[in-house]
Structure 1
Amino acid sequence: MRQSQLFTKTRKEAPSDEVSKNAQLLIRAGFIHKEMAGVYDYLPLGLRVINNLRKIIGEEMQSIGSQEVSLSTLQDPEIWKATDRWDDEKVDVWFKTKLKNDTELGLGCTHEEPMVKMMKDHVNSYRDLPRYTHQFQTKFRNELRAKSGIMRGREFFMKDMYSFNKTQEDLDEFYEKVIVAYKNVYNRAGIGDKTYLTFASGGMFSKFSHEFQTICDAGEDHIYIDKEKNMAVNDEVMQDQILQNLGLIRENLVEAKSIEVGNIFKYGTRYTSELGLVFKDEDGSEKTVVLGAYGIGLGRLMGTIVELLSDDKGIIWPKEVSPFTVHLVRLGENSTVVSAADNLYADLIKRG
């Protein structure tokens, strides 16, 4: 791309209604445009960054056997009622709308239920498992307070992956592969040295879930890090018995502010049992598929990179994330210089 063809402009001052550094810098640099609170447009430079993150994440998900799909944003209430997640008293972030015939629909805030429903058409036997699917999709969440720039919006771009296994042991094995793949993502995105696998509550589904937390002063979370063991816990599990079970000593933990840049869950048979995703095992018995879910918000990851790696001169993009690898500057209008610059530009384009 020639800079002269780029329609976006830079700004000297940040918008008065933006307090987060990531939004201030990205708007000033012409990477994003603000529509309203919690809703941003990605301009050419910003979209190139998002696409680079998508490429990194997609490669790492494919490396562990996941296949990319794209499910509908419009959601049928019936499958969500089956899992008790349609009621606004239970899940309070739904955007809901109606068709002209008064049929109620929702805009997807996550995709466990529709992904499970889809797999019912493709999983019947133990021979059909395991299966892993992921998608990159715009999600909608009716947040009471959208804040922190592109790190917490009402409309955002997300990678969500789902694993379908025969047994809990199979899920546990795949889960460890996901941890490695996620660490690869953050290393390639330039924030791996500041990002920790963090133990969090598993709720009713499992003993623990895990978050990937990046140490950053702009973070809203607080985690407690054991730097020698390269692991952390969040507030939910900062209890003496749990620390003992994890082999951690409270006095060795250092508190830090952080941003959650990913999360992974072992759901077990939650969702699959309610929606009837079953298979026939080798012995002929019917068993319920075991589910895992794994998320990364691309806008949140992009915003975290800006918060963490920018300085007083602007944004410092890691090589694999940067919108461009080379900025070729031509000095003067001398025909020889112009010709040399054009030839070099053409050669760089040819080399990709």
Structure 2
Amino acid sequence: MRQSELFSKVSREEPKDEISVNARLLERGGFIRKFMAGVYVFLPLGWRVMDKINSIIKEEMNATGATELHLSVLQPKELWDMTGRWKGLNEIMYQLKDHSQRMVGLAPTHEEAVAWLGKNFIQSYRDLPKAIYQIQVKFRDELRVKSGLVRTREFIMKDLYSFHADASDLDRYYKRVGEAYLSIFKRCGLKPLMIEASGGAFTKDYSHEFQVLSPYGEDTIVYCPKHGWAQNKEIAKLKAGDKCPLGSDQVTEAKGVEVGNIFRLGTRFSKDLGLTYKDKFGQNNLVWMASYGIGPARVMGTIVDVHHDERGITWPDSVAPFGFHLIALAGGNSKEGSKIKKASEQLYKKLSELGIDVLYDDRDGFSTGEKLAEADLIGIPLRIVIGPKTIAKGSSFVEVKGRKEAKPKLINVNSLIKNLTKLKNKRPVKNA
């Protein structure tokens, strides 16, 4: 993609009304724009990152045997009254009257809807197990919206729901999804901890959260780094310095960001909505259910909280908006500028033909310092520069620099193309 065609602008100024690191960097880098408190617009660069996070999520969800669908956000009060959550969640659920004075709500989660849907398709033990998921916009009237993409009123959610004949089958799939979640977060460049937490409004049983240690986190985690034991402080009976339940080491406390959660729902929603199946003996049984959530936008914000430096964002390869950033610098005179432009256009054409995921900064009127500073802020993993220094060596050379590297390297264009072709299968290759 040509940067001159990109609907985005980098800002030198810090957003005045943003406290969180992720929101400040993402706004300055032209990834998002704040629309109102707790609501953000995803600009093209930000949406490319979101698309890559979602692609990883979908790949891992599909591998568990789940299939994707799309559920309605607008739901009737009567459905939620059946579980008692219309009243139970009224502080965070947007609830309103339609033109006929019927009460409806914007679902912040979909357990009621999938239990209703299950009644339409699950009648026999032969219909089990099943798992369905979606990625869609949801709404929650949050009181605290000061953490950028980590806590918003309008948010993107991947929610997975599974149906089972008994508790043992549920536990088997629950464990499988937990492993898939760990894989998702690791592939996104994060180091997740799977911890025990409260079941909240979903279940009386413990749930599991997936937390990423971060000084910007809202939760406090009590954990043992050596043995992997971890709990949310909300339910923990241990405190920092106490002995780990799995060994002689001491547990410690740290701040964390919750990026996902999984709940054993048991038969709670099945009982309330009458979701049953006939077993092989013709007896009616309640369907066992579980739900599993990931906030892709929250993952994006957490990635930025973890992967940044004093110059800007340092995206992991797997979720970067582009794999490579080709930059044409201004020439000292018109003749030099023409040579730079010609060499840059030729390389961009070649990379595009090879399917290389590249953002080409072809903009005129920007100084070398401005272009390089903006590139650091945007944070694409590898920078390829053509300018006066490379042209002086001949049109067959470029400067290449990794985002986290201190100094660029002078490389022959043919060698660069050969190396990038080898890397193509390891980096995102879909070009806009």
Q: TM-score, normalised by structure 1?
A: 0.93
Q: Which residue of 2 aligns with 1:8?
A: 8
Deviates more, 1:266-275 or 1:222-231: 222-231
Whichever residue aligns with residue 154 of structure 1, its letter is: R
Question: Are the counterparts in 2 of residues 83 and 271 from structure 1 also a CA contact under 8 Å?
Answer: yes
Whichever residue aligns with residue 293 of structure 1, its letter is: S
Of 328, 337, 344, 1:330 maps to 328
Q: Which residue of 2 aligns with 1:277?
A: 275
Q: Distance in 2 between matches of 1:23 and 1:237?
A: 30
Q: Distance in 1 between matches of 2:289 and 2:77?
A: 21
Identical residues among aligned pairs (%): 44
1:197 pairs with 2:194: yes
Q: Distance in 2 between matches of 1:305 and 1:218?
A: 12
Deviations 1:14-52 (A, max 9, x none): 111111111000000000010111000000000011111
1:229 pairs with 2:235: no
Whichever residue aligns with residue 120 of structure 1, its letter is: K
Deviations 1:275-321 (A, max 9, x none): 01100001111000001000001111110000011110100111111
Q: Which residue of 2 aligns with 1:126?
A: 125
Question: Are the counterparts in 1 of residues 107 and 138 from structure 2 also a CA contact under 8 Å?
Answer: yes
CA-CA distance at 1:146 after TM superposition = 1.7
- Secondary structure of the structure 2 residue equivalent to 1:349: coil
Of 323, 336, 343, 2:349 maps to 343
Q: TM-score, normalised by structure 2?
A: 0.77
Q: Distance in 2 between matches of 1:154 and 1:339?
A: 43
Q: Which residue of 1 aligns with 2:148?
A: 149
Q: Which residue of 2 aligns with 1:104?
A: 103
Whichever residue aligns with residue 199 of structure 1, its letter is: E
Could you list the runs of 5+ residues in structure 1 that have no partner in the other structure? none
How many residue pairs match? The answer is: 347
Q: Distance in 2 between matches of 1:319 and 1:25?
A: 18
Q: Identify if the C-alpha distance between structure 1 residues 76 and 253 changes in structure 2 by more than 3 Å, giving closer, same or farther.
A: same
Deviates more, 1:102-111 or 1:152-161: 102-111
Q: Distance in 2 between matches of 1:317 and 1:250?
A: 38
Matches of residues 11-26 of structure 1 in structure 2 within 5 Å? 11-26=11-26
Q: Which residue of 1 aligns with 2:408?
A: none
Whichever residue aligns with residue 127 of structure 2, its letter is: D
Question: Are the counterparts in 1 of residues 224 and 249 from structure 2 also a CA contact under 8 Å?
Answer: no
Q: Identify if the C-alpha distance between structure 1 residues 338 and 254 changes in structure 2 by more than 3 Å, giving closer, same or farther.
A: closer
Deviations 1:66-106 (A, max 9, x none): 0001001101111100000112x554111122221122211
Q: Distance in 2 between matches of 1:34 and 1:4?
A: 23
Q: Which residue of 2 aligns with 1:167?
A: 166
- Secondary structure of the structure 2 residue equivalent to 1:55: helix
CA-CA distance at 1:58 after TM superposition = 0.6
- Secondary structure of the structure 1 residue equivalent to 2:297: helix
Q: Which residue of 2 aligns with 1:140?
A: 139
Question: Are the counterparts in 2 of residues 330 and 341 from structure 1 also a CA contact under 8 Å?
Answer: no
Q: Distance in 2 between matches of 1:260 and 1:342?
A: 40
Deviates more, 1:139-148 or 1:48-57: 139-148
Question: Are the counterparts in 2 of residues 69 and 134 from structure 1 also a CA contact under 8 Å?
Answer: yes
Matches of residues 211-250 of structure 1 in structure 2 within 5 Å? 211-239=209-237, 247-248=245-246
Q: Identify if the C-alpha distance between structure 1 residues 205 and 104 changes in structure 2 by more than 3 Å, giving closer, same or farther.
A: closer
Whichever residue aligns with residue 200 of structure 1, its letter is: A
CA-CA distance at 1:251 after TM superposition = 5.7
Matches of residues 277-296 of structure 1 in structure 2 within 5 Å? 277-296=275-294
Q: Which residue of 2 aligns with 1:34?
A: 34
CA-CA distance at 1:229 after TM superposition = 1.8
Q: Identify if the C-alpha distance between structure 1 residues 122 and 214 changes in structure 2 by more than 3 Å, giving closer, same or farther.
A: same
CA-CA distance at 1:338 after TM superposition = 4.5
- Secondary structure of the structure 1 residue equivalent to 2:40: strand
Could you list the runs of 5+ residues in structure 2 that have no partner in the other structure? 330-336, 357-428
Q: Distance in 2 between matches of 1:36 and 1:273?
A: 40
- Secondary structure of the structure 2 residue equivalent to 1:86: helix
Question: Are the counterparts in 2 of residues 264 and 295 from structure 1 also a CA contact under 8 Å?
Answer: yes
Q: Distance in 1 between matches of 2:214 and 2:248?
A: 21
